[in-house]
Amino acid sequence: MAGEKQEHGLEDFDALVRLHRPRVFRFILASLRNKETAENLTQDCFVRAYQARGQFRGASSIGTWFMQIAANLVRNHESSSRLKFWRRSLQPDADVAELGRILPDGQHSPEALALMREQVEAIWSAARDLPARQRTVFLLRFVEDLDLLEIAEVTGMKEGTIKAHLFRALHSVRARLEGTK
């Protein structure tokens, strides 16, 4: 019976990957702004989840569990990347037009798409300069639309800490956006 509980919800792992892959990929891409790295880490996320599927206890949703793995991969990647001088000099290579197509907008007119792309570019630019924890909380909240409790599960931070990081991130992004007008 305990074995059934461990596997509960993980029987069709391929279906879970198809369902959750877009969200995991968007978060990693938004965090790292490098499509190739995001593809690699997204694949790594699901490989790690598959390998650890027997350890899933159901304390959180499967989607939250995948996001925890993704957030850890991003954190590990960023910390290892900081040690490499040449990576620091690279500019983000994410295509803003492509990001605009990834994010749901509900509008299709050329003017609305152009405005959205401009806004997305300004927000990405502002978010890129946030400290790592603020950026992670900001992206989980506003790109992935997670609530505070879900962000706490993904990051391992307390809700009050998340609120503080989110407040600071919003303040920084707003100040930067107001300064660009």
Contact 96, 121 (CB under 8 A): yes
The structural architecture, per CATH, of the domain 98-181 is Orthogonal Bundle (1.10)
Q: Which helix (H) or strand (E) holds 75?
A: helix 62-81
The mean-pLDDT minimum among 42-46, 82-86, 134-138 falls in: 82-86
DSSP H helices in 95-158:
96-102, 110-128, 132-142, 148-155
Instruction: Report the distance separating Cα 52 and Cα 49, nearest Å.
Output: 5
**CATH number for the 1-94 domain, one of 1.10.1740.10, 3.60.21.10, 3.20.20.80, 2.60.120.480?**
1.10.1740.10
Contact residues for 100 (Cβ-Cβ < 8 A; gap 6+): 113, 116, 117, 120
If pLDDT is split at 50, 70 and 90, which confidence band does 81 have? low
| Distances from the Cα of 82 to the Cα of 57, 77, 85, 169, angstroms | 34, 9, 7, 21
Sequence spans of domains, the chain: 1-94, 98-181
Per-residue pLDDT at 176 exceeds 80: yes
Three-class secondary structure of residue 56 per DSSP: coil
In this structure, of 58-67, 88-97, 165-174, the range with the lowest mean pLDDT score is 88-97
Category of 47 on φ-ψ map: left (φ > 0), alpha (ψ -120 to 50) or beta = alpha
pLDDT of 108-159, one tens digit each?
467 766 776 787 788 888 888 999 999 999 989 888 888 899 999 999 999 9
pTM of the model: 0.60
pLDDT at residue number 113 = 66
Q: Evaluate whether 1-94 and 98-181 have a shared fold.
A: no
pLDDT higher at 143 or 52: 52
